[in-house]
Structures are given as C-alpha cells and as structure tokens.
Amino acid sequence: MGLGIKRLDTLKLGQDPILTEFAQRFENSDFVSSLLLPEVKVAKQTGKFPVYGNEHMRVHDTKRPFKSPVKSMQLDDMTLEEFILDSYGLEIPIDYLESEYASDFLDLERYAADVLMASIKLTQEYEAVQLLQDSNTYSDDHYESLTTNEYFNDPDSDPISIIRDAQETVRKKINRKPNVIVFGQSTFNALQSHPKVLELIKYSQSAIITEDILSAIFSTKDNPVAIRIGSGMYEDKATNSNVDLWGDVAVMAYNPKIGNRPMTSFDQSFGKTFVQKGYPWAARTNDRLDIIRYVSVLTVYKHYISQKDAGFCIANTIGS
C-alpha cells in the first residue's frame, strides 16, 4: 500500500515506542551487506558527503631548518556528492477478531512488526546486493568475471591467488588492503572443498574450511580481514522457490570503521548506507470503528558508493 503524506502524518501520531525500539534493534544474521556498506546516521533526507583526493599518499619536504617557518602543502580539491534518501514502508491490517483469537498464545501485533521489519530489511539487503554485484559499481579494473580454468569449483584453479591479486589491486590504488570479504554461499562451498585451499590447512587443527580459517589466510598482522558468507535468501515469485541473494561472487572492500566506532559521512570508505536518524520506527493505528488495527514499519535510507577504488568484485566464480 502506498503511503501518502496524510497517511504518514497519521502513522506518526500512532508511533509506538515499544515496537519502534524493537524495530531499531532488529537484526538478521543472514544479511551481511552492512559490512561492505556500513550505516551512517544522518539528520535529514538530503545532504552531501565528501570524496577525497590522494594527498595522503604523497611525500613532501617536511624538514624545517632552525628558526624557519613550517613548509606548507595544499589539499586537493574536495568533491562533494549529494545523497537523497528514499522512504520505505509496509503495514499489516489486523482484525480485532484475529487479535482476540491469538491473545492466549501470541502477541499478534509484535509478530506483525517482526514480519514487517524482516521484509524491509530483506529489501534493503536485496538492493545492496544488486548494487554490489553490478560491474558499473566498480572501477574498470576492479571487477573480474572468471572464465575457464579460473572457476573456484575447478580443482586446477588457484582461488587464493585470484583473491590475493584482487586485494593487491585495491592496495595499489588506496594504499590499504580490503578488510572485509563477503562470499556468496556457492562460492564459499567451492572454497571449502578446493584442494589448494585444503592443502593450506592440512597441518592446522581444523578439518574443514571456516570463515575464521579464510580470515587467517587473507589477513596480515596490520590488516585483519573479516570474512562473512552471504547466506540470505529470498522467494523468487516467478519460480515460487527460494534463491540466494548473493550469487557466485566474492566482494571485498576497505571500510575503516569495521568493528570500531560508527561510520560517519566524512570517513573514506568503499561505500555507505545513509539512514535518517530515528528510523526505522513502528506505529499502531486504528480504523474509524476500531475494527481493524494497522501495524506499520517505516524507514528512510539509501546505499551509495563513495570510493570505487576501495572495492573489488570477483564474479562468475562457479563454472557449469
């Protein structure tokens, strides 16, 4: 159902603090796009974020002779990109007879808020995945589609070298290696049984390839790499079957605040998800006769790529 301005105002009057707190704490462990596109809370639906220059990688003459002034350097021109957030909302109508029937075994309105939040988060993850698997999202040499003899399910391929080469491509552009890698489920399954990967761990205490094992393989002392598996799914209406959100891909990025303080719009990173402060929130409203109660959840966000050179996508990792 579309939500117009009058409807939105009505929902705000019915905003429920308990359901809203629940909505804002909702998490889905199957959704991992926030590692690649961390959330940035912003006050308004529109604004700007900076795209920085390369001045931090230049060597300057900083030696200061005694009683001489400090030498100066110039900052590169800063590019400001505009963000415009989109609004999302869903609601579920609940007949008072349904509430009465379920009251002995289920808080129907809390359950409705749960279903709504899961649906909205699924949409958010789906949109992020579509962006992250699009070749136009990346710099020209930061998107690699594998071909014969490179597929991760080919025992003669070398997936470790392919991934490390991608890490090095990013490092040469931004002087930082990616610190997060998301593998599609099929890609991860292929790595788990690949002979060259198994060879690397044959003297370890682990008998199987795990996220922690892969993290150790691709990390260095100064750059620990978080590894996650994109195992989330959605229902394909055309086939009436569940399919993976993430395809046969390995997507990596550098984001400086992984595991630390929240990301801000000024941090240099591959991408960000701007979310308006105070969202998501939930509301309860009744119809004129108190027969139907509506439980609604709304949020405001949008995904943006802020530094193309800080990301890399390896696509088509599985051969037929």
Give pLDDT tens digits for 7-46.
Answer: 555 555 555 555 555 445 545 557 899 999 999 999 999 9
Q: pLDDT category, 72, cuts 50, 70, 90? A: confident
Residues in the chain: 320
- Return d(Cα 298, Cα 38) in angstroms, integer: 20
- What distance in Å separates the CA atoms of residue 293 and residue 28, rounded to the nearest whole number? 27
* Range in 49-53, 80-84, 151-155 the model is least confident about: 49-53
Q: Give the Å distances, CA to CA, from 56 to 139, 150, 255.
A: 20, 36, 16
Return d(Cα 151, Cα 193) in angstroms, integer: 13
pLDDT at 261 over 70: no
Which residues make beta-bridge pairs with 286?
293
Number of helices (H) and strands (E), helices first, in the chain? 9, 14
Q: What is the CATH number that goes with domain 5-53+77-315?
A: 3.90.1690.10
pLDDT of 54 > 80? The answer is no
* Block residue for tokens 């909702």: 26
Q: Which residue in the block uniquely carries the two structure tokens 């308004």?
A: 44
Sequence spans of domains, the chain: 5-53+77-315
Q: List, in sequence order, every residue forming a beta bridge with 50; answer none if it has no partner.
A: 80
Cβ neighbourhood burial of 292 (10 Å; 0-12, 13-18, 19+): middle
Quote the CA–CA distance of 43 and 83 in Å, as a whole number: 12
What pLDDT is attached to residue 3?
Answer: 47
Question: Is residue 42 within 8 Å of residue 274, measured between CB atoms?
Answer: yes
- CB burial class (10 A; 0-12, 13-18, 19+) of residue 11? buried
- In three-state secondary structure terms, 43 is coil
Q: Among the residues of the chain, which ranges form H helices?
A: 5-13, 17-25, 33-36, 96-102, 108-132, 159-174, 185-192, 195-200, 211-218
Measured CA distances, 166 to 157, 159, 180, 214 (Å): 15, 11, 12, 15
Strands 143-145, 311-315: pairing kind: parallel
Is residue 229 classed as helix, strand or coil in its secondary structure? strand
- Given a cut of 90, whether residue 153 has pLDDT beyond it is yes
User: Residue type for 9, please?
Assistant: D
What's the CA gap between 319 and 147, in Å, rounded? 8
Chain segment 159-203, per-residue pLDDT in tens: 999 999 999 999 999 888 999 999 999 999 999 999 999 998 887
